[in-house]
Every structure is written in structure tokens, then in C-alpha cells.
Amino acid sequence: MQGSGIRGVVGRSFARIFYRNCINLGLAIVACPAAADAARDGSRIAIETSGTVEVDGVEFAAPASPPLVLELGAAGGLVGWTASQLIGPRG
């Protein structure tokens, strides 16, 4: 998905393994049925990790991302996060 330029996924629900795979790859993922129903081909979608999804300018409440999920995303996924933990801070 990343190779296709996809940076996040919004859906009604997800299988646990797909959800975790997205997190491990550093993709934003959120289950928000109302936002998924509002989205159409070509919709502009913004995922806020604090707990909202915006679809074409309309905000929908969504679950906030846990801190570890945010860390994994910031590191580019599980591989980057693990490397940062093994190497530690530089300085």
C-alpha cells in the first residue's frame, strides 16, 4: 500500500491482523464507520491521531491512537522503531 502512496486507512472495521500489519508498516489506520460511509472516490480524508477523521471538511469522532502506535508511526513502522530502541538516542 505504501508503494501506491497510501498513508492511511479508514474503514468500518478491520481484521486484527490487517490492523496490526498497518501499524507495523507505519500506516495510520482507524475504524470509524461514519467516516467510512461518508467517503467517496476522490474524497479528501485526514486522520487525526487525537481522535477525529475529516472527510471532505466534515469531522467524525474516532478512537484516539495509543502512545505506542504513535511512536511506531513516527518511526516509520516496527522496523524503524525497533532499530531506534536498539541503537538508542544519539548525542
DSSP one-letter code for 59: E
pLDDT digits (tens, 9 = 90+) for 36-85: 999 999 999 999 988 999 999 999 999 999 999 999 999 999 999 999 98
pLDDT digits (tens, 9 = 90+) for 2-17: 788 888 999 999 999 9
CATH number, position 83 = 3.20.19.10
**Domain interval for residue 74:** 2-87
How many residues are recorded in the chain? 91
Instruction: Kindly state the helix (H) or strand (E) to which residue 49 belongs, with its residue range.
Output: none
48 CB-side CA count, 13 A: 13
Number of domains present in the structure of the chain: 1
* Spatial CA neighbour of 78 closest among 17, 25, 3, 1: 25
